[in-house]
Every structure is written in C-alpha cells, then in structure tokens.
C-alpha cells in the first residue's frame, strides 16, 4: 500500500522541511502538502512552494499535492508550476486536485475565485492541464497557450467523496482520492467507482484515501478532531469516531488492511497530536507489517 503523510509544523506554523528526509528514510512513498489557505490568520502555505523546498532536501520521495484547489488558480499557472517542479525534482510530482473546501473564505474572495460552478471550472482545467504540461498548444479560454519546457504529466488524483468527483476521476484522473471516510464507508463507493468506469468505458482509477491519525495518547487532540468532523462536516458523533486512525502498530496495521480490503491502493494520513516523529515511525512500521 502506497503511504503518504504531511510535514509537521513548528510552533509558528512553519513546515519542518528537515522531516521530509526523515520520511524518505522511513520508506514513505510521498510527502504531501495540503492547499488550505483561509485568509483569517490561520497558517496556510502555497503547496507548490513547500514541495519545491522539500524537493531540494530529498532525492527519492514523491511530492504530493494533497489536494490542490484548482478553482483558486488559473490552469495555465498551475501547469507552469507543475512543469517547474517536475524538472526541479526529477519527475517526482503527484498532483492531487479538487474543487476546494473553503469557497466562502476571505482568501477565496480576495483572489476572485468562483464560489459557484466550481465543478465545471475544475473539469475544464483538467481537460487543459495535460496538454499544457506536455508543452502542447492548448486552448485555454480565448487564448492558445504553449508552455515550456515540456514535462511529463504527473499522476493526477481527483479528490472528493461525491459521485461527481468519482466521475471526474474516471474521466480525467489516474486515481480517485476520497477523504475522511471509514473502510465501511469506502467499500460501496469503490464498487460504484468501478461501475462508473464500466459505464464510461474508462480504466478504473486507483483509490487513495486521505485522513488523519492520532497515534499517541492525546485525548484532547482526538476530541478536538472529532468535534471538527461534527461541527464542520455535519457528521454524527458515532460516524465521526470511525474516521481517525488511532492506536499502536497492531491497530494501525489492521486499519490499513481494512482500507485495502475496501479497495484502497494508497493511504495519506496527517499526523495530529504530539510526538510527530514517533507517530511517523508507527505508521511506517504498520505499512511494513501489512506488506509481509
């Protein structure tokens, strides 16, 4: 199972880039960076900048956008950033994309991003993006654009739990990336994903599940996360308690196995609570046990 986690933040909310090398040494497949810029003072980082910095500290680990909000940025600009990062990293980019989760935030309003029609915007961007990255003449709006230097198109993972996101992944992506979903909730969606691929005459995308883990004894962090799922995502308390990955190596191994049984090919988990390094080691050991 492919394994990704994100970098820890220091006390000022700055990504600790030195830990990218530690993840590489632990055998992680990718280091991820979320695209969450709200504009209310909450620390937020441009993922392309952070991943470019992580590329200079590593040699092998992949650099994953998890996920990039396409409606925030002109697609030609996204393609230029992807080209640059592909060249600077030796082709290690994994491009997770989505419609964005904070369309009413101050940052979205400040940059003039669309608050409606985001699905159509994202579909149009995904149609144009591969040609732009490959350096081919590509029509974007009223302009024909050719970007260089041409680069290999990275794997594209389409985020979102809805059927519209699944259809988008089948049509335009290499993978589908649902998030905040339990193994029991994932299994029927994977079955539907396969049906959609058959209906559309397309290959079945890979499945990369995103979520959060708290692998230390931090009750406050766990309750805070569960509370956010109830308050921000409208989950019931019972449903929310099935989402975070918790426990030691044995429990985490069982959880990864359950995701694999439900159809997941990859898991990307943010590590919440204290002692990030120990949690990263537990998650890596669990994946290693799963592979034995």
Domains of the chain and any CATH numbers: 2-207+250-264 (3.20.20.30)
With 0.85 as the threshold, say if the pTM is over it.
Answer: yes
What's the CA gap between 173 and 65, in Å, rounded?
14
Cβ-contact 82, 65 below 8 angstroms:
no
**Cα–Cα distance, 267 to 270 (Å, whole number):** 10
pLDDT in tens, 146-187: 999 999 999 999 999 999 999 999 999 999 999 999 999 999
Are 168 and 120 in contact by the 8 Å Cβ rule? The answer is: no
Region of 8 on the Ramachandran plot (φ > 0 left; ψ -120 to 50 alpha; else beta): beta
Sequence-distant (6+) residues with CB within 8 A of 175 are 155, 156, 157, 158, 169, 205, 206, 207, 208, 265, 266
The Cα–Cα gap between 53 and 12 comes to 18
Whether omega for the bond prior to residue 190 falls within 30 degrees of 0, making it cis, is no
Q: What is the DSSP string of 100-127?
A: -S-TTSHHHHHTT--SS-HHHHHHHHHH
Segment 231-280, tens digit of pLDDT: 988 999 999 999 999 999 999 999 999 999 999 999 999 999 889 999 99
Contact 288, 252 (CB under 8 A): no
């Amino acid at each position: 199972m492919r394994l990704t986690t994100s970098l820890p933040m220091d006390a000022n909310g700055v990504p600790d880039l030195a830990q990218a090398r530690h993840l590489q040494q632990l055998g992680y497949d990718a280091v991820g960076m979320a695209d969450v810029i709200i504009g209310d003072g909450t620390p937020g980082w441009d993922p392309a900048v952070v991943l470019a910095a992580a590329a200079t500290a590593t040699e092998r680990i992949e650099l994953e956008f998890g996920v990039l909000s396409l409606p925030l940025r002109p697609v030609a600009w996204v393609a230029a950033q992807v080209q640059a990062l592909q060249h600077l990293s030796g082709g290690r980019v994994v491009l997770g994309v989505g419609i964005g989760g904070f369309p009413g935030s101050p940052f979205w309003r400040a940059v003039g991003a669309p608050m409606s029609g985001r699905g159509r915007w994202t579909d149009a961007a995904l149609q144009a993006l591969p040609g732009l990255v490959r350096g081919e003449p590509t029509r974007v709006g009223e302009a024909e654009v050719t970007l260089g230097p041409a680069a290999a198109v990275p794997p594209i993972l389409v985020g979102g739990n809805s059927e519209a996101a699944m259809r988008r992944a089948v049509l335009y992506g290499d993978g589908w990336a649902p998030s905040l979903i339990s193994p029991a909730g994932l299994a029927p969606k994977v079955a539907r994903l396969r049906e959609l691929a058959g209906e559309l005459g397309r290959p079945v995308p890979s499945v990369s599940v995103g979520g959060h883990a708290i692998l230390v004894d931090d009750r406050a962090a766990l309750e805070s996360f569960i509370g956010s799922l109830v308050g921000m995502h409208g989950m019931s308390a019972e449903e929310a308690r099935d989402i975070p990955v918790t426990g030691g190596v044995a429990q985490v191994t069982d959880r990864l196995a359950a995701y694999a049984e439900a159809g997941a090919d990859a898991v990307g988990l943010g590590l919440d609570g204290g002692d990030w390094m120990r949690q990263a080691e537990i998650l890596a050991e669990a994946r290693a046990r799963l592979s034995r």
